[in-house]
Amino acid sequence: MQRRMISNRESARRSRMRKQQHLDELLNQVAQLQQDNSGILQRINATAEVYVNVESENSFLRAQMTELSDRLQSLNSVLHIIEEVSGFSMDIPEIPDPLLKPWQLPCPSLPITASSSMFQF
């Protein structure tokens, strides 16, 4: 009977130790997952900031393109008037309206390069 009691106590102690070890592992896993989530959140915020900056720059460039297209059309109109008044024939290419056909650029496209530091996380 005494031996059985000692065996049961030892078994209960081992069971408590296993439970404590499992609890410690779970707490470590929670801490690691919280750290991972924090890192992911930082990367999301950095990406969102880059997106806002790029979107802002795109808006500025669209406005600038519209303004320059208007100026070009105005200058072409002046050239047409000069051509009619002077009688000299000028080669004035028709410029497509970028607002009606945004996929058709009014000028030759240039390669766009981005620095590797643009998307640092």
**Residue boundaries of the structural domains of the chain:** 2-89
The dihedral over CA atoms of 56, 58, 60, 66, expressed in degrees to the nearest 10, equals: -150
Q: pLDDT tens digits for 79-98? A: 888 888 888 777 777 766 65
- Percent of the chain beyond pLDDT 90? 58
Q: Say what the pLDDT of residue 113 is.
A: 58
- The H or E element spanning position 70 is helix 2-86
Q: pLDDT tens digits for 37-66? A: 999 999 999 999 999 999 999 999 999 999
Sign of the C-alpha dihedral computed for residues 81, 82, 85 and 91 taken in this order = negative
Q: Say what the pLDDT of residue 61 is.
A: 95
